[in-house]
Amino acid sequence: MSINLIKAERNLPDEVVKLCKEFSKKNGLMMRMNMYSFMAASILNAPIEDDDYVIEIGTYHGFTAIFVARMLNYMGKNNKVVSIDPFDRLSGGVIGSHIKYMQNVNRQDLKEQCIAISSYSSEVASLLRGEIPFMIIDGGHKYENIKSDIELYLPKLKIGGIAYLHDNDEIRYPGITRAISELIRGNKKYNILMDDYYFIIERIS
Ligand SMILES: C[S@@+](CC[C@H](N)C(=O)[O-])C[C@H]1O[C@@H](n2cnc3c(N)ncnc32)[C@H](O)[C@@H]1O
């Protein structure tokens, strides 16, 4: 049976709601409160086992990676959160900072759990094994970037695994909306759990 994310988000435990509020205050420019709460509901429903790791494409300063790690800790888990970002190898647009990522991760004492790979997502996809229970796609926002992330990373989801694609906004990011429409909508492998600014899917076959 499919996950009811709206119901799950409405019934988040108080401690998780507090965590979502804390992070939306820190990272409100990138992620609003309900984006964190739907992400939290997704993580709570993802099939995360002990040896799994989760992936974030595009980490910026690490806030969302830290949020994911804190959610996992809340669930009694300490799976690695692997973030992929070329950081200052990029020359335009929103550019992440490895220094700020490390400062934020160290401040939260999460340097064992949060791992950054300084690379373009397309460069390292073949090095990362599959069977991923949860991933966030929020890296390059151009059509070719998101198309490549969908093609290279979604097949790495395990059955029941959940992917959270950020910035599904036709006006601001038409490339993201287009890639989602071409590659995910109507694709029988995926069940759409949330079709909004954040586009959340579950792999079903
Ligand atoms: C919108 S920010 C990510 C925000 C982050 N998820 C958060 O919640 O704070 C986009 C990030 O994607 C990174 N990026 C851009 N192109 C990329 C690519 N091809 N592969 C991986 N990351 C990329 C940028 O360096 C930037 O840090």
Ligand 1 centroid to residue 120 C-alpha, Å: 9
* Cβ atoms of residues 43 and 9 within 8 Å: no
Query: What's the pLDDT score for residue 93?
Result: 87
The amino acid present at 1, given as its one-letter code, is M
Query: What's the pLDDT score for residue 34?
Result: 87
Dihedral angle at the C-alpha atoms of 159, 52, 101, 168, nearest 10 degrees? 0
Q: pTM for the whole thing?
A: 0.96
Query: What's the pLDDT score for residue 1?
Result: 64
In tens digits, what is the pLDDT along the chain, a chain of 205 residues?
688 999 999 999 999 999 999 998 887 666 677 899 999 999 999 999 999 999 999 999 999 999 999 999 999 999 999 999 999 999 888 999 999 999 999 999 999 999 999 999 999 999 999 999 999 999 999 999 999 999 999 999 999 999 999 999 999 999 999 999 999 999 999 999 999 999 999 999 9
Provide the total of helices (H) and of strands (E) in the chain, helices listed first: 8, 7
The amino acid present at 31, given as its one-letter code, is M
Taking phi over 0 as left and psi of -120 to 50 as alpha, with beta for the rest, 2 belongs to beta
- Out of 63, 83, 87, 90, mutate this one to test ligand 1's pocket (max ligand atoms within 8 Å of CB): namely 90
For residue 61, the ligand 1 atom closest to its alpha carbon is 9
**Pocket of ligand 1, beta carbon within 6 A:** 27, 30-31, 57-60, 63-64, 84-87, 90, 94-96, 120-121, 138-140, 145
Rounded to whole angstroms, how far apart are CA atoms 136 and 46? 12
Q: Which fold has domain 48-203?
A: Rossmann fold (3.40.50)
Domain regions of the chain by residue span: 48-203
